[in-house]
Amino acid sequence: MVGNSGRDFANKARSPKYYYDSKYGFGIMNLNALGAIIGPDWPDTVQLPKEYFLTRGCFIDARGTLEIDDTSTWGIGVKIITKSHDIAYNNTVGKVVDRPVVVKANAWIGSFSLLYNCIIGEGSVVAAGSVVRSCEIMPGVMVAGNPAQKIAARNDSGKWVYFNPKWRTMTREPDFCTR
């Protein structure tokens, strides 16, 4: 057989590649972890390069309004949706409407979070796996859950104040693991 077989191609596609990220330096990129970007062009209002998100396995819908500050930090597998259908008309799938997503300076978006039609304020934290939908997260607030709810806020000295002690970092065994 002449040329590469499909199996050879698949093995090469799975092999890690090295990349350089100006924010984090050198790293290894697994091509199986690549994310996806939907949209005609990468928006000028997103100050991080699209490769930053692709190497983290993020799904970015860039068809609608999307603003991301370059000082924000992102986990892996984050999903952003900026377009939806207007279903208010006649209870049928209607026209496509804009659902903007704005992530401001020093925000931290945890792994596997979903952002839809929201504003993430400066210095805010979205905990891993949270669903932030149709709301504004105020600056210096931490949210978690589905739907995302406020679990902590920064005090005047910059430390997190948790509204419920169970949300603090676990330094002991959780209650369900007692012997």
Q: Give residue-wise pLDDT tens across range 59-115.
A: 999 999 999 999 999 999 999 999 998 877 676 777 889 999 999 999 999 999 999
- Say how far apart CA 140 and CA 132 lie, in whole Å: 16
In sequence order, the 6+-apart residues with CB closer than 8 A to the CB of 86 are 94, 95, 96, 97
pLDDT bracket for residue 24 (50, 70, 90) = low
**What proportion of the chain, given as a percentage, has pLDDT over 70?**
71
Query: What CATH architecture applies to the domain 17-177?
Result: 3 Solenoid (2.160)
- Map out the domains of the chain as residue ranges: 17-177
Q: Which residue has the higher pLDDT, 19 or 144?
A: 144
Q: Measure the CA angle with vertex 49, ends 64 and 126; round to 5°.
A: 65
Query: pTM of the prediction?
Result: 0.74
Q: What was the pLDDT predicted at 169?
A: 55
Among 84, 120, 103, which Cα is nearest to 45's? 103
Per DSSP bridges, beta strands 59-61 and 79-81 are: parallel
